[in-house]
Every structure is written in C-alpha cells, then in structure tokens.
Structure 1
Amino acid sequence: MIRITIIGSGNVAQHLIKAFAKSELVEIVQVHSRKKEKLATLLEFDKITDSFEDLKEADLYIIAVSDNSISDVSQQLPFQNRIVVHTSGAASLEVLDSKNRKGVFYPLQTFSKDKDVDFSAVPMCLEAENTFDFRVLETAAKGISNVVFAINSDQRKALHVSAVFVNNFTNHLYQIGQEICEEHQVPFEILRPLIQETAEKINTLNPADAQTGPAKRNDSLTIAAHLDYLNTENQKNIYKILTQSIQNNGKKL
C-alpha cells in the first residue's frame, strides 16, 4: 500500500482526496491545508495540518496547488530525498526543489468544486526521475484510475495546450452561445443535444472528418449574414478567426 500526503485544498486536491479515500492501494496519511476547516468534511480532522513542520513520513507527497505556488511550497518542505510530485499540466519537473526526488502526477481532467468525477476514467500522466519512483507513482495512479500513461514534460506541455483548446476554449464558446441565446430570448437548452452529439462524435470520428458548418462548406452568404447579426466586436472577431482557421484547414487537406 502506498502512503500518500497531499499538499493543497483546491479543486484538484479535494477530488484526489475523494478518489484516494476509496482506493485499496492507497492510504492518505495526511493533508496540508492553510485552512483546515476547508477539508473537514472530506477526512478525519486529525489528518489535516496547516504546518509543514508537522508533516508525517509518507511514500509520496503530492503538491496540488496553483502553478505559481509549486516552487515555493516544495522549498518549504522540511525533509529530503523523498518523492515529491506536482499535479500541473504546464509546469516542468524543474520547478520542484532539488532536495527531494521529483515527479509529476497529472490527472488530465477538468475539475469543478461541486461536480463529482469518475476517476477510473481519468487519464493519469506520470513522470519521474527514475524507475523506482515511477513505479510508486504508477501504483498510486492505478489505485484510482484505469488509464495511466508515462508522459514526459514536453509531451505533457503539448497535452496541456491541447486541453486548453478542447476544454477551456470550447467551454468559452458555450458561454458566448448562451449569451447570444439569452439576448434573443431563446432557451439555451435547445442547443444541449447538439453539444452532446458533437462531443460524442469524437469517439468514432477524427475531428477533421467530423467538422461541419458554413465555414466547412464555404457558405459565404451565411457567414456574412452571421457576422452582420452578431452585436459585439469580440463575437465577430472570434467568429472570423475560427471561420478562417476551418477554411485554412480545408485547404491543407
């Protein structure tokens, strides 16, 4: 059994706590949080500490904080030569303090506070400096997920940038669509089946093959009408950029 300490209390940390609590391969030794009460509903209060000096010995320490805080947190750890990893998709191994053995334990998923996640389907992207440490990470990852990958820092950066496109940017487009609907008193719910169908296509089709719409068909009259209909420059600019990108992709094919 892998004994784990989690440092952090945000969305990623809280979802990891919930997932590890159900695992038979992992034991949560301790969780560090500056606000202990924030985690009081997730585990025993005596397992929560707000002091780095009070951290107990564990097989693996997972830093689940903002990217900007990883380096500072790793420097404050009062021990050496233990396995310390972060959960960031963008940060490299080098942000971790060299007094400990470095690694990455990156769950590639979007985490929201009040939305439960089935961790068994979450891809776990792992990186370590040696084979022994990787096996520790792999055991911990397999304790909560059925999808585990060895991913180096450069590959993880590519994944994270790609994830911003397919997740964050896509969700922002949902928001714009909702704003347009609300502005014209149209229920956004009407679009939900379309959103669902588009997402499900990715299970069977290459994204380029699944592309449809006026840009793909080069329906210039429809494109012009849409641009004339949109009320803000931001919406018009986004529409133009994405239309041009789709059309340029078609030329490459």
Structure 2
Amino acid sequence: MSPKDREAIEAAVREAEARTRGEIYCVVAQAASDYREVVLAWAAGVALLAPALLLAGGVQISAPDLTGGWTAAQVGDVASRAARAALTGAILLQAALFLVTALVVALPPVRRALTPKALKRHRVREKAQEQFLSRNLRATRERTGVLIFVAVDERMAEIVADEGIASAVGPEVWTRAMAALVEGLKRGEPAAGFAAAVGLCGDVLAEHFPLRADNPDELPDSLVELPRG
C-alpha cells in the first residue's frame, strides 16, 4: 500500500463513521498463512509414487532357477539380496522425490497455486477472527465493531461484525461489501476495493446505529498492515 492508498482508506473510514455510531477497522495481511503443511503433503504424496515408478521402469525381483543345482540356502541368499537392493532403490528414489518436490513446492508462487482454495478460505477466516480479537473490536461500547480484512496473496477478504450489529442484520448484508472488496483486489486496486467496502459497511451501520451527539471515535481509522509472518 502506498501512502496515497493509506490516506484514501483512512478518509473512507472517517467518512463512513461520520454517519454512524459503529466502528470500522481495516487490516491487510500479505498472506494469511505460510501453508507449510502443503509443502509436506505434496512432497510425501509424490514420494509415495516411487514403488509405482520402479515397477513402471521394469525393475523386477527374480530368484535363481531351482533346476540349476542351487541349494535352498543359496536361493534364499540371492533372493534376499535382490529384495534388499530393490527396497534400497525404492527408499532412495522416495527420498529424492520428497526432497525435489519439497524444494519446488516451497517456492511461494508454486505453493500458492497448489494450496486448495478451501484451505486458503479457512486460513483467511481464522486470521480475520484472530485480528478481530487481538485489535479489541469486541471492546466498543455498543458492540458495533466491523473488521474488514484482506489477505493479498490469497486475494481473499473477510468481514467480521461484532454481536451488536451482527444480531441486527443477517450475514448476507455484507455480500455487496465483500464483492466490492474482492473486485478491487482482482483489479490490482486494493485501496479502491477497501474504500468501496468501507462505504457499504458504513451504510449498514448507519441504518441500524445512526449518528447521535454522543459518538466517541473508539478505534483508529488508519489501515493496519501486517508484515509477512
């Protein structure tokens, strides 16, 4: 976010809160999670393919012909060595596949592409809830705090409303604000998306908690930017 973007978002929050007793708080994170388990999952999954690759490559375990004068002990010894060699090859191939896959999937663009969308959505929701609690949005006088949270890498957003406003409206009322926010992210204009979402959230708050004389500003209006964890 540029200084101009931050100023635009802060101005949008001030303008929205000038119409309501509600409080709007904006947080942007570069990513909601590092998704380390995705790297391990893909590496382990690919490594499990090693036995199938060996079979596809024609690797076989064979025992000597019993009609050729071999003793049972010799046959057992040769078969045991062949089995150990095949098992060792499989283990080494699995280790190589695990390492190479882990190194490739660890690259941020690859990891993001291979992370299931459902997991991204879950982590974004978790991070938004975490920020809602840690930023004291539950401490407003009328429980009217609304958090607008964006995870840039995931290009996902979440709106969390405190019980004062959440009990007065259904979750569907935030749909337009979410859509405006996500559209701004997709266009590469997060500040415009934030400003539009803030205005729409302000409309909802103003309808149910209109401005009155006693209206302290309980939360900062400035955008909070979280460093990459």
TM-score (norm 2): 0.30
With a CA cutoff of 8 Å and minimum separation of 6, indicate the structure with the bigger relative contact order.
Answer: 2
Structure with the higher fraction of residues in strand conformation: 1
Q: Which has the larger radius of gyration?
A: 2
TM normalised by structure 1 equals: 0.28
Higher helix share: 2
